[in-house]
Homo-oligomer: A and B are copies of this chain.
Amino acid sequence: MIVVKVGGAEGIDYEAVAEDAASLWREGVRLLLVHGGSALTNRVAEALGHPPRFLTHPGGQVSRLTDPKTLDIFLMVYAGLVNKRLVERLQRRGVNAVGLTGVDGRLLEGRRKTAVKYVEDGKVKIHRGDYTGTAERVNRALLDLLLEAGYLPVITPPAISYEGEAINTDGDQVAALLATTYRAEALVYLSNVPGLLAHYPDEASLVREIPVEKVESPEYLALAQGRMKRKVMGAVAAVQGGVKRVIFADARVENPIRRALAGEGTVVR
């Protein structure tokens, strides 16, 4: 099994991703596609007069403030527009894709975090009533049912809380959860950069490889800080969870998945 996460940033070549995924699928490669939609969500939210707001957590991570109206917009863009246009692109290439959110069939279950801590003016504050959370459980039976019948699942947040509420959840983490569930051969993260960059946005500073056993050594420790911390630590956890390798690669090129599998990008193993 190969799990491919297509990021939601500007510049992603969805046509190239669909073309590559379709050709791998026809060769018999088992795939799960996961996608984002954050940049488009921001644009639609602005257009609808409900501009995005982001919370900076005490640990430095940033997340989207998700009130019910934001979740409506999130559903429109992720589950409606991005998901169905990707499914359509695959169908046009003869691949029988089926799009699913984590809400469908309780595919991705997790805990809702109603109170979110954030930092403002140097003070830690609490935002209540948020619809965010972390996916913890996969309904693998539903995916197996579809895969065995020949359907390619195209998966997107939101997840669903144990109480049955749609919750905004991190797509990268969803992809890692799926990859560990299947002990995937590879987990590929496609975005609008060539991989993990030691000196963002300098593409010449691409890190070729991160050996999991050395991630705590001084050479790599600096990579696992700041904006890359979540990505690196998520990849390390995925490898420790049984995924053979995690590859961060470029989605602005032809054959982005094949190139990633050939080692172009940053390989964590």
Q: Which residues of A line the B interface, CB within 8 A?
A: 44, 47-49, 72, 75-81, 83-85, 87-88, 91-94, 96-101, 103-106, 141-142, 145-146, 149, 151, 158, 160, 163-166
Asked if residues B80 and A160 are in contact (CB atoms below 8 Å), the reply is: no
**CB contact between A77 and one of B76, B93, B166 (< 8 Å): that residue:** B76
Asked if residues B101 and A100 are in contact (CB atoms below 8 Å), the reply is: no
> A193 to nearest B CB, angstroms?
27
Asked if residues B83 and A79 are in contact (CB atoms below 8 Å), the reply is: yes
Asked if residues A81 and B72 are in contact (CB atoms below 8 Å), the reply is: yes
Asked if residues A88 and B47 are in contact (CB atoms below 8 Å), the reply is: no
Chain B residues with CB under 8 Å of A165's CB are 88, 92
Show 9 A/B contacts (Cβ-Cβ < 8 Å), sorted by A: A47-B49, A75-B81, A75-B85, A88-B103, A88-B160, A88-B164, A97-B104, A142-B149, A142-B151
Closest to A149 in B: B145
Asked if residues B103 and A166 are in contact (CB atoms below 8 Å), the reply is: no
> A99 to nearest B CB, angstroms?
5
Asked if residues B103 and A84 are in contact (CB atoms below 8 Å), the reply is: yes
Measured CA separation A80–B77 after assembly (Å): 7
Chain B residues with CB under 8 Å of A44's CB are 48, 76
Asked if residues B87 and A98 are in contact (CB atoms below 8 Å), the reply is: no
Chain B residues with CB under 8 Å of A149's CB are 141-142, 145
Chain B residues with CB under 8 Å of A98's CB are 100, 104-105, 142
Asked if residues A79 and B84 are in contact (CB atoms below 8 Å), the reply is: yes
Asked if residues B76 and A81 are in contact (CB atoms below 8 Å), the reply is: yes
**CB contact between A96 and one of B47, B76, B77, B106 (< 8 Å): that residue:** B106
Measured CA separation A106–B160 after assembly (Å): 25
Measured CA separation A105–B142 after assembly (Å): 14
Given contacts A72-B81, A84-B104, A93-B164, 19 further A-B contacts (CB under 8 A): A47-B47, A75-B81, A75-B84, A75-B85, A77-B80, A79-B80, A79-B83, A84-B101, A85-B166, A87-B104, A88-B160, A92-B164, A92-B165, A96-B105, A97-B104, A98-B105, A99-B104, A141-B149, A142-B151
Most chain B CB within a 10 A radius of its CB, from A44, A105, A151, A166: A105
Closest to A105 in B: B98
Asked if residues B80 and A103 are in contact (CB atoms below 8 Å), the reply is: no
Asked if residues A106 and B79 are in contact (CB atoms below 8 Å), the reply is: no
Measured CA separation A87–B108 after assembly (Å): 14
Chain B residues with CB under 8 Å of A81's CB are 72, 75-76, 80
